[in-house]
Amino acid sequence: MSRLNGVNGFNGCELNGTTTGSGCWTIGLINAKAKYLTAETFGFKINANGVSLKKKQLWTLEPAEKDLIAFKSHLDKYISVDQYGNVTCESEEREMSCMFEVSVTDDEHGRWALRNVSRGYFLGAGGDKLICSAKVPTDAELWTIHLAARPQVNLRSLGRKRYAHLNEEGTEIEVDANVPWGEDTLFTLEFRDNKYAIHTTNNKYLSMDGKLVADCSRECLFCLEYHHGSLALRDYQGQYLSPIGSRAVLKTRSNTVTKDELFALEDSLPQASFSALLNARYVSVKQGVDVTANQEEISDHEKFQLEYDGATKRWYVRTMQDKYWTLEAGGGIQANATKPTSNALFNFQWQPDGSVAFQANNGKYIATKKSGHLFANADSPDDGSARFYFYLINRPVLVLKCEQGFVGYKTSNSLKMECNKANYETIKVERGEQGQVFFRGQQGGYWHACGDGIMADSEVPEGFFIELREATRMCLKNSSGQYIVTEKNGGFKLGDTEPSNATLWEF
């Protein structure tokens, strides 16, 4: 067993929609019998009977002093252990009886043993109740950690102080990007066989030797470790992923953890490109500060990061050079502000034809001049010059979640999609014309709407539009304007054209 120190999170963590302190993780804890630690809604009862990761199985893992950690339930109560080894989850304060020390098994499974600091014994699950009476951890005291945070992330090396990205050939991951820009810096953490695989946007898996392979094998599975507030990924031979050599290729080499083996997982913010309806050109900052719709291709200059302001329900639009779109005195739109201001906030209004209109801080809509320059001088989005097609550029693969669970296949031999799955399927996103996208399942078939749901078995793509609603939520509608809505049994299908009735999908 090896001791681990501290924990860190996705810039803080979200539980029940509220962000807790920095350094937290939202996780599930799985025991040796493949059951989740569960906090029941009534009576603050806890057990290890959960069969999947739902609300009652979510725990906030909080770092505390001296590299200790505490676990808080969805009811905001802490797990604590009394002097007799009884385990309860009623404490509102994080006292010493709530503190645990983590050690990790040295085998390929990397399970966690949780030693209660005040009691000195290890936390285990016996039947319906939890006990803390083992001096040495056995199978009953070993837990697998299931991350419950959004699985699509940017990966930042603490040693190199750079971000991981797919190389140009699509054969390796290199850790030398200054900023996480574009689809090549997006990675999906897939929970498989109680470990994690790193899935790239070209639909491959990182192998321990640094190569990207088509199929996920034992060589592609890593267990999670935490060290001093950061994350390390260990292969089945006990070696850790790190950037190696002058090209900083991500592969396993060392069997000890230094700063080179440590990573931070960061939420991947949406990045988009916009095509003006007026001239079918992409909006760009290639020329400098003027925001202009004048490019035929998408490069980094035509990709913009979208940052949601929850207070105003509007968006900041940021360039790769860390400048914000800003409304200037004459109504022009320039990307020259280093700090966000009220004039850098835009209201995204999604139109029935699948396009989007941007309402600036002066109440006017951004319109495209014949020269391609953008000015906030249109009175309504009805004018074609004030509308733009939207492409979510850094999600060539999507993971979708709703209140019922993740989107995935109904069964292993069915191509019908459901939205109540404990584990997710990655969905390929292909860009179509005029803002449309096509969704494709991992089995190869395109999504299409049938009478009672969505199937992923078509050879012909059906067009959908993505509408961003909040920082991490989107709506989906077809080319006729019908929104996709969920059903209580986990099914989902096309509903009506009213945006307020649309399901919000977390992405």
The pLDDT tens digits for 354-399 are 999 999 999 999 999 999 999 999 999 998 899 999 999 999 999 9
Of residues 446, 291, 267, 432, the one with CA closest to residue 374: 291
* Chain position carrying tokens 């495209």: 368
State residue 461's pLDDT score: 93
Alpha-carbon distances, residue 438 vs 84, 266, 274, 447, 485 (angstroms): 59, 27, 17, 7, 18
Which pLDDT band, with edges at 50, 70 and 90, does 413 fall under? confident
- CB count, 10 Å around CB of 7? 25
Q: Which residue has the higher pLDDT, 388 or 26?
A: 388
- Is residue 13 pLDDT above 80, yes or no? no
The pLDDT tens digits for 69-100 are 999 999 999 999 999 999 999 999 999 999 99
| Domain 397-506 belongs in CATH node 2.80.10.50 | yes
Q: Which fold has domain 152-267?
A: Trefoil (Acidic Fibroblast Growth Factor, subunit A) (2.80.10)
Q: Residues for the chain: how many in total?
A: 507
**What's the whole-number mean pLDDT along residues 38-53?**
91
**What's the whole-number mean pLDDT along residues 35-44?**
92
- Is residue 6 pLDDT above 70, yes or no? no
**What's the whole-number mean pLDDT along residues 234-256?**
96
State residue 2's pLDDT score: 52
Alpha-carbon distances, residue 490 vs 256, 421, 423, 486, 505 (angstroms): 44, 8, 13, 7, 13
Q: Which residue has the higher pLDDT, 149 or 439?
A: 439
Determine contact, residues 242/260, Cβ cutoff 8 Å: yes
Which pLDDT band, with edges at 50, 70 and 90, does 424 fall under? confident
State residue 12's pLDDT score: 41
State residue 18's pLDDT score: 33
State residue 380's pLDDT score: 95
Helix (H, G, I), strand (E, B) or coil at 20: coil
Query: Can you name the residues that pair with 26 across neighbouring β-strands?
Result: 60
State residue 7's pLDDT score: 34
**What residue ranges of the chain are covered by domains with CATH 2.80.10.50?**
2-147, 152-267, 271-392, 397-506
Q: Which fold has domain 2-147?
A: Trefoil (Acidic Fibroblast Growth Factor, subunit A) (2.80.10)
Which pLDDT band, with edges at 50, 70 and 90, does 3 fall under? very low
State residue 1's pLDDT score: 61
State residue 230's pLDDT score: 79
Alpha-carbon distances, residue 227 vs 62, 241, 263 (angstroms): 14, 14, 10
State residue 4's pLDDT score: 44
Which pLDDT band, with edges at 50, 70 and 90, does 228 fall under? low
State residue 15's pLDDT score: 37
Q: Which fold has domain 271-392?
A: Trefoil (Acidic Fibroblast Growth Factor, subunit A) (2.80.10)
Structure tokens at 363: 């109440």
Q: What does the alpha-carbon distance between residue 431 and residue 443 come to, in Å, rounded to a whole number? A: 19
Decide: residue 188, CB within 10 A, 0-12 exposed, 13-18 middle, 19+ buried. buried
The pLDDT tens digits for 288-328 are 899 999 999 999 999 999 999 999 999 999 999 999 999 99
Which pLDDT band, with edges at 50, 70 and 90, does 265 fall under? confident
Determine contact, residues 328/313, Cβ cutoff 8 Å: no
Q: Which residue has the higher pLDDT, 186 or 229?
A: 186
Return the biggest CA–CA distance within the chain: 78
Listed range (163-177, 366-380, 409-423, 479-493) with the worst mean pLDDT: 409-423
Listed range (200-214, 256-270, 281-295) with the worst mean pLDDT: 256-270
Buried b (16+ CB within 10 A) or exposed e, 410-430: beeeebebbbbbbebbbbbbe
State residue 331's pLDDT score: 95
- Is residue 14 pLDDT above 70, yes or no? no
Q: According to the 3-state scheme, what is the secondary structure of 35-81?
A: CEEEECCCCCCEEEEECCCCHHHCEEEEECHHHCEEEECCCCCEEEE
Task: Determine the distance from the C-alpha atom of residue 68 to the mean position of all C-alpha atoms in its chain, rounded to a whole number.
Answer: 26
